[in-house]
Amino acid sequence: MPEFRVYSGGRVRGVVNGDRAAVVAAVESAYKAHHAQRTVNPDSYFLRFPEHDADRIIALPAHYTEDSGERVTGIKWISSFPGNIDRGLARASAVLVLNDETTGYPVACMEAAAISASRTAAGAVLALRELDGGKGGRRTVSVIGTGVISEHVLDYLGQSGVEPERILLHDAHLPHAERLAQRLRGRFAAPVAVCGSIEEAITAGQVVVFATTAGEPHVHDPLLFAHNPVVLHLSLRDLAPEVVLAAHNVVDDVDHALKARTSLHLAELLTGGREFVHHTLPAILSGAPAPERDRPVVFSPFGMGILDLAVGNLVHSVLADTTVPVEDFFQGAERC
Query: How many CA atoms, within 13 angstroms, populate the side-chain half-sphere of residue 191?
Result: 4
Residue 285 has pLDDT above 70, yes or no: yes
Q: Judge whether 213 and 173 are in contact, CB under 8 Å.
A: no
Kindly give, in sequence order, each residue whose CB lies less than 8 Å from that of residue 234, ignoring residues fewer than 6 positions away.
120, 124, 149, 153, 209, 210, 211, 301
DSSP letter at 324 equals: P
- Mean pLDDT of the 198-221 span: 96
pLDDT band at 116 (very low <50, low <70, confident <90, very high): very high
Residue 134 has pLDDT above 70, yes or no: no
Kindly give, in sequence order, each residue whose CB lies less than 8 Å from that of residue 281, ignoring residues fewer than 6 positions away.
31, 123, 126, 127, 130, 250, 251, 252, 299, 301
pLDDT digits (tens, 9 = 90+) for 226-272: 999 999 999 999 999 999 999 999 999 999 999 989 999 999 999 99
pLDDT band at 336 (very low <50, low <70, confident <90, very high): low
SS3 per residue for 234-255? CCCCCECHHHHHCCEEEECCHH
pLDDT digits (tens, 9 = 90+) for 163-208: 999 999 999 999 999 999 999 998 999 999 999 999 999 999 999 9
Residue 155 has pLDDT above 90, yes or no: yes
| CA terminus-to-terminus distance, the chain | 14
Residue 82, pLDDT score? 86
pLDDT digits (tens, 9 = 90+) for 31-46: 999 999 999 999 989 9
Q: Judge whether 248 and 315 are in contact, CB under 8 Å.
A: no
Helix (H, G, I), strand (E, B) or coil at 126: helix
Residue 333 has pLDDT above 70, yes or no: no
Kindly give, in sequence order, each residue whose CB lies less than 8 Å from that of residue 186, ignoring residues fewer than 6 positions away.
none
Give CA–CA dist 109/191, Å, rounded: 40
- Strands 106-111 and 5-7 turn out to be parallel
Residue 135, pLDDT score? 66
Closest alpha carbon to 137 in 120, 158, 119, 121: 158
Burial bucket for residue 218 (CB in 10 Å: 0-12, 13-18, 19+): middle
Residue 121, pLDDT score? 97
Amino acid identity of 58?
I
Helix axes 148-156, 113-131, angle to 10 degrees: 50
Q: Is the pTM above the cut of 0.85?
A: yes
Residue 332 has pLDDT above 80, yes or no: no
Residue 47 has pLDDT above 70, yes or no: yes
Strand order in the sheet with 192-194: 192-194, 162-170, 137-144, 207-210, 230-233, 297-300, 248-251, 277-280
pLDDT band at 100 (very low <50, low <70, confident <90, very high): very high
Residue 335, pLDDT score? 66
Q: Which residue has the higher pLDDT, 136 or 168?
A: 168
Q: Judge whether 314 and 13 are in contact, CB under 8 Å.
A: no
Q: Judge whether 156 and 122 are in contact, CB under 8 Å.
A: yes
Residue 133, pLDDT score? 73
Residue 149, pLDDT score? 94
Average pLDDT, the chain: 95
Q: Judge whether 195 and 174 are in contact, CB under 8 Å.
A: no
Q: Which residue has the higher pLDDT, 88 or 16?
A: 16
Determine phi and psi for 225, rounding to 5 degrees.
-110, 20
Closest alpha carbon to 314 in 39, 2, 50, 18: 18
Residue 76 has pLDDT above 70, yes or no: yes
Q: Judge whether 210 and 108 are in contact, CB under 8 Å.
A: no
Closest alpha carbon to 27 in 309, 317, 319, 316: 309
Query: How many CA atoms, within 13 angstroms, populate the side-chain half-sphere of residue 123?
Result: 31
